[in-house]
Each structure stands twice: as C-alpha cells, then as structure tokens.
C-alpha cells in the first residue's frame, strides 16, 4: 500500500530534529498543487507523531510511513 | 488447551503489553498526568523536581576540575540536583533503547550552531529565572512562587520570538537538511536494533541496583531520587512530552494539545505541592526563587528563545540527548557550562541579584486558598486561549 505510492516531491529532513521537519514540510506544501504527494525523509522519531497531527489540522491526507535504513519515509497528500 | 498453546497465549499478552508500552508512543495527556503524579511524589519524597540545577552542578564540577573555580562543588554522585538530571538522562536512554528508538543522529552544521547558541541562552535564562522550564516554571508555579508565573509570561514571549527567527531562517539561510548521516553500525548478520531492547532492560535494571547501593550507603533519599528521575525520563521519552511545544505550537501550527496537557499537569502538581506546604509537611520556601519579576520574565524570554533554537527545553534537551541526538547533546553541554558561569556571576554580584528581583511566595500576600484558585484560573485562561486559537488561528503565525 505505502510501497505503491509515487511521490511528486521528496523533502529530505534527515538529521533535522523537531520542529524543523514539520516547518519544512509546511513550507514545501505551500508551493505544491492540490492532490500532489510529498515524501518526507526523517530521522527524528517524533515526526511519525507530528506529521499525522499536522496533516489532520491542515486538512491534508496522511498516507502512512515506511521504515528505511535508519530513517522513515512519510507520505502526505496535499489538500 | 495444550501447554504449548497456553504459552503462546501468555507470550502474546506479554508482547502486546510490551508493544503498548515501548512501541506505541503514549498519548500526551497521559504524560501530563504522570508527570504531575511524579512531581508530587518527588516533592513528598525529598524535594521538587528540577533539571537545570543538575546541569549547573555538572558545569560547576567541570570548571572546578580545570581550575577555573577554587571552591569544590558538591559531588555529582551526592548532589540531589545532579541525581535527578542524571536519572532523567538515564531513563530516557533506557526507554529509547527499549523502544528501538536510540540511534546516534548527526545534524547539519547550521543545526549544530543552533544547538550551541540555544544551549547557551537556556543556561543564561535558567540562571536568571532560578531554573529551566521545570524548576523555574513547572515546579515554581506548583510551589506557589510568583516568579513561576512571571517566567510563564516570558516563555510565551520567548517562544514567539524564537519562532519568528526560525521562519526568517527558513527563508534566508540555505537549507541545512540532507547530507547528514545517521550513523548506525551495520555489520553483516548483526542487527543493532534487535539488541536494543535487551540493552535497555539491562540499563534500567542497573539503575535499580544503583538505587539499592545508595540505600545501603545510608543515602536512601538520593537513591530514591535517582529512581524518580528515571521515571521522569521514561515518561517523557515515551510521551515525547516537551514543554517548549506547550508554548511554541500554538503560534507555529495552532496545535494546542501539548499546551492543554501541560496546563492540566501544572494544576494537578500545584494542588499536591499546596497540600504539602499548607500542612507544613514541606518548607514553604522550597522552590520560591529570588526571581520576581525581572529574573523570571526576562530569563523566561531568553530561555524560550534558546529552547526553540535548540529544539528542546531543559527536560526536552536532556531526553533527546538520551535518545542519541547529537545536536541536543551539544545543547545540553553548552547549557551546563553557561548556566554554571552565569549563576556564579550572579552569586558574586549583589547588583545582579537585586536586579533579578525578590522571593514572592503567593500565600504570603493572598493566602493559600486564593493562591490556589488564582493559579488554577490563570491556567484555565491559557487553556481556553490555546483552544480558542486552535479553532480560529488568531495567534498562529503564517509563514
């Protein structure tokens, strides 16, 4: 399911900690069209909680995450 | 049912329990509730919870060791300040291992610089306010000290200013993301992550052994405080409870969940402290810092600005350092050094002491009952404000 997602953009937040991944995502999706999918790479364990919460508040659709080698790939569909 | 089947049922229950505790993060309000309970237990056991005092003790010992200070500070093994903070780090480290969340996480250069600057500012702010977000705000408000309220106002202002800086940075400074590596040992046929829970369990058991040793050396209070610190570490790591979010998120994303959990926690903890003080079981002057109002207010502003830069408050930086985040390790180190230096400076200057303000124990001015009602109402107002903001985004700063 999550494996089939083809992101339109990838945002590399590896090495960044709270709150930078969320703010960078916020900035990136401001420039994206509705329906596009952004992939966020993060090493901060908190992002797995923060991004779904952020998506819910902003009305975006959180599609899930998958774990990679030492980081997570998280997917968000822009409102 | 065969014996084998029973075993697998039992195994299933145990593994579900393990995953509920150490795999899923706990809801944030559970964190607020548990922190309040532990805050009261810690005060009843010996003294209020604090974080920055421990960092100061480590800084003092470092400067004494290299010959900058002539006086010999209390050993970090005996100082209750140091033990509480050590417990927090220890508990967070053990808990991160148990949940397979420990990893040495490098950060890009700009983030490292923010760690240095943020940590240094937090040290200065804590020295002024008589503690960090814990000792200067959380425990201070619980202890019915007016400077805790002054610091709360400062923290709100500082978080706002810090966020404004971060927004500016996002627009004007080159992106520092990417390129930073996560160093994880990857030997063939050996998975580091698989070993982490066992290592974590060993580390937490070792802490209990240490507490037992303290007990045998007639230092039962110190040993108990170590366990209190460890409980804080586990609670905070599992809930990812972060005070700076309680002040920053309403401005940043409009999210008020952490703020509400924090406010609820403060009120509960305050009730416990008030009971212990009002009945005379604990000294009334405990955690009433000489910081009303300048030290609390301005210290709070400086502290929160630093906390937003480093991405963690006093407690938040320590637990994230325990999780392996290099930026926060740097922040904690700078915090300890700058707090030690700045507080020594204040100790030696009567002018600075006078500037920071005086001690203000609220029940001395408005009796216990009005103090309790007043603080509860004030916290409720903040609760309502962040919830109202959640609906209207009136205070949320747009990029």
Share of chain B above pLDDT 90, in %: 76
Residue with more model confidence, B340 or B23: B340
Q: Report chain B residues whose CB lies below 8 A from the CB of A49.
A: 25, 240
Kindly state whether B175 is in contact with chain A, defined as any CB-CB distance less than 8 angstroms: yes
Of A14, A19, A70, the CB nearest to B177: A14
The pLDDT of residue B280 is above 90:
yes
Question: Chain B within 8 Å of A28 (Cβ-Cβ)?
Answer: no
Contact B151, B137 (CB under 8 A): yes
- Which of B162, B175, B239, B309 is the best residue to mutate to test the A interface, defined by the most A CB atoms within 10 Å of its own CB? B175
Is residue A18 annotated as a catalytic residue, yes or no? yes
**Residue A46 pLDDT:** 87
Give A66's strand partners: A73
Cβ contacts below 8 Å, chain A against chain B, sum to 90
| Helix ranges (DSSP H) in B173-191 | none
The average confidence (pLDDT) of chain B is 91
> Residue B3: what pLDDT?
65
Q: List CB contacts (< 8 A) between B252 and chain A.
A: 19, 22-23
CA-based nearest residue in chain A for residue B180: A15
B177: contact with A, CB 8 A cutoff: yes
CA-nearest residue to A47 within chain B is: B240
Which residues are CB-neighbours of B204 under 8 A, at least 6 positions away?
B91, B94, B95, B98, B230, B234
Secondary structure (3-state) at B290: strand
Contact of B399 with chain A, judged by CB distance below 8 Å, is answered with yes
Helix (H) or strand (E) holding B1: none
- Residues 6+ positions from B216 with CB-CB distance below 8 Å: none
Task: Give B280's DSSP letter.
Answer: T
Domains identified in chain A and CATH numbers: 2-77 (3.30.110.40)
Residue B181 has pLDDT above 60, yes or no: no
Q: Does A10 touch chain B (CB under 8 A)?
A: no
The closest alpha carbon to B397, from B389, B74, B174, belongs to B389
Of the candidates A5, A16, A18, A32, the residue annotated as catalytic is: A18
Closest Cα in chain A, distance from residue B105 (Å) = 6
- Tell whether the torsion through CA atoms of B85, B87, B93 and B98 is positive or negative: negative
Residue B269 has pLDDT above 90, yes or no: yes
Query: What is d(CA B164, CA B354) in angstroms, rounded to the nearest whole number?
Result: 32
Q: Is the pLDDT of residue B8 over 90?
A: no
Of B184, B240, B255, the CB nearest to A46: B240
Q: Assess whether pLDDT exceeds 50 at residue B23.
A: yes
What ipTM was assigned to the predicted interfaces of this complex? 0.89
Whether A27 contacts chain B with CB within 8 A: yes
pLDDT digits (tens, 9 = 90+) for B318-331: 999 999 999 999 99
Angle, CA B57 vertex, CA B52 and CA B59 arms, to 5°:
95
Per-residue model confidence as pLDDT tens digits over B76-113: 999 999 999 999 999 999 999 998 889 888 889 999 99
Question: In A, which residues are within 8 Å of B167 by CB distance?
Answer: 23
């Amino acid at each position: 399911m999550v494996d089939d997602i083809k992101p339109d953009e990838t945002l590399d937040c590896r090495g960044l900690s709270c709150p930078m991944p969320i703010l960078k995502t916020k900035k990136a999706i401001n420039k994206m069209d509705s329906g596009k999918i952004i992939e966020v790479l993060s090493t901060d364990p908190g992002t797995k909680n923060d991004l779904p919460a952020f998506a819910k508040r902003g009305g975006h659709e959180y599609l899930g995450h998958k774990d990679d080698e030492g980081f997570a790939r998280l997917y968000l569909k822009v409102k | 049912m065969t014996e084998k089947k029973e075993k697998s049922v039992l195994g299933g229950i145990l593994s579900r329990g393990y995953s509920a505790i150490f795999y899923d993060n706990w809801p944030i309000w559970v964190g607020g509730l548990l922190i309040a309970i532990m805050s009261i237990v810690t005060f009843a056991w010996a003294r209020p919870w604090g974080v920055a005092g421990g960092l100061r003790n480590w800084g003092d010992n470092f400067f004494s060791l290299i010959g900058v200070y002539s006086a010999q500070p209390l050993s970090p093994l005996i100082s209750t300040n140091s033990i509480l903070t050590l417990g927090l780090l220890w508990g967070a480290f053990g808990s991160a291992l148990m949940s397979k969340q420990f990893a040495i996480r490098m950060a890009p250069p700009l983030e490292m610089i923010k760690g240095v600057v943020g940590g240094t500012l937090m040290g200065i702010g804590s020295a002024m306010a008589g503690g960090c977000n814990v000792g200067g705000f959380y425990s201070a408000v619980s202890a019915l000290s007016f400077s805790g309220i002054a610091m709360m106002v400062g923290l709100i202002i500082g978080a706002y200013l810090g966020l404004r800086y971060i927004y500016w940075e996002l627009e004007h400074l080159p992106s520092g993301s990417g390129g930073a590596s996560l160093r994880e040992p990857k030997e063939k046929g050996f998975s580091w992550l698989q070993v982490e829970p066992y290592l974590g369990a060993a580390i937490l058991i070792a802490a209990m052994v240490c507490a037992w040793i303290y007990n045998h050396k007639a230092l039962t209070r110190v040993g108990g405080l170590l366990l209190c610190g460890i409980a804080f570490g586990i609670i905070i790591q599992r809930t990812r409870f972060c005070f700076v979010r309680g002040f920053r998120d309403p401005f940043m994303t409009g999210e008020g969940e952490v703020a509400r959990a924090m406010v609820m926690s403060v009120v509960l903890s305050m009730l416990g402290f008030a009971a212990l003080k009002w009945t005379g079981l604990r000294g009334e002057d405990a955690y009433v810092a000489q910081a009303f109002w300048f030290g609390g207010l301005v210290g709070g502003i400086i502290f929160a600005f630093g906390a937003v830069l480093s991405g963690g408050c006093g407690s938040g930086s320590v637990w994230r350092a325990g999780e392996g985040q290099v930026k926060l390790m740097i922040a904690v180190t700078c915090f300890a050094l700058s707090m030690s230096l700045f507080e020594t400076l204040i100790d030696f200057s009567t002018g600075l002491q006078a500037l920071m303000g005086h001690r203000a124990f609220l029940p001395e001015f408005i009796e216990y009952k009005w103090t309790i009602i007043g603080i509860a109402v004030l916290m409720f107002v903040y609760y309502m404000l962040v919830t109202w903001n959640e609906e209207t985004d009136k205070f949320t700063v747009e990029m």
